[in-house]
Amino acid sequence: MEKKLTTFFSALVLAAGIAGAGIAVCFGLIAGKTSNRTVAVRGLAEREVDADLAIWPLTFTVAANDMAALNAAVKKDSETVEAYLLKNNVSKADIVKQSISVDDESQRLYGGGEQRPFRYVGKVTFLIRSSNIDAVKTADRHLRDLLAQGVLLVRDYEYQTQFLFNGLNEIKPDMIAEATVNARAAADQFAKDSGSRVGRIKTATQGLFTITDVNAAMPEKKIVRVVNTVEYFLAD
């Protein structure tokens, strides 16, 4: 009889222990689940900046019936173009390359048999690379002065002026900090709406910086954007 009572009490203690462990595990799971509540938010930083580099391919054509005349025309118009650029405050050091290509119209395989007025047509390109944005804009805006001097300019998509912004590294730290502050403000609002408070950061990801034109009419004005994604723990 005594042995049976001992066995009974031992089983009772074991059952109580298992039940207690089950309760502890249950509370542990609830606590763990509560402590893992998070909110993921994005923070935007945006700035308008001025382009600091212009790349301008200035292209014109010349034509003649012999190479000597073509070379003379290239020399004459090149001198005219260079004088025009210098007059409009484009530095000679900013004229980084001059290239020329020549087509022999008599060697065309496909032309419909039409009579062409000149045998040789040359295309000359001055590549201007300048940090003087205003000078490039002014020179580009008054190209009619070159036309008045007989220079046959080529204007098409291939020879568009590019305005670039190279100062990204200087503004990166401040923009990342601003985006993070904006992300925290969004997290605070989420927490407030849910009756919680924002805890420490769980994960943070810096987005890519993008640089776009303000609009098509103002390519020298840029918008720099970055979006950071930050995940915060929430606490009651």
Tens of pLDDT, residues 185-202: 999 998 999 899 999 999
Q: Are 202 and 229 in contact (CB under 8 A)?
A: no
Provide mean pLDDT across the span 53-74. Answer: 95
Q: What is the pLDDT of residue 117?
A: 85
Provide mean pLDDT across the span 147-176. Answer: 92
| Local structure of 9: helix, strand or coil | helix
R_g of the chain computed on alpha carbons: 36
| Local structure of 37: helix, strand or coil | coil
φ, ψ at 150 (rounded to 5°): 90, 10
Share of the chain above pLDDT 70, in %: 82
Q: What is the pLDDT of residue 105?
A: 84
Q: Are 31 and 144 in contact (CB under 8 A)?
A: no
More confident residue, 230 or 110: 230
Q: Are 59 and 123 in contact (CB under 8 A)?
A: yes
Given a cut of 90, whether residue 236 has pLDDT beyond it is no
CA 116 vs CA 34, 108, 125, 151: distances in Å: 84, 11, 23, 20
| The pair of three-digit structure tokens given for residue 75, joined into one six-digit string | 């020399």
Given a cut of 70, whether residue 24 has pLDDT beyond it is no
Write down the pTM of the prediction.
Answer: 0.74
| The pair of three-digit structure tokens given for residue 38, joined into one six-digit string | 């998070």
Which H helix or E strand runs over 140?
A: helix 133-141
For residue 62, count CB atoms less than 10 angstroms from its CB and return exposed for 0-12, middle for 13-18, buried for 19 or more: buried
Q: Worst-scoring range by mean pLDDT, 95-99, 115-119, 164-168, 191-195?
A: 115-119
| The pair of three-digit structure tokens given for residue 87, joined into one six-digit string | 């007059």
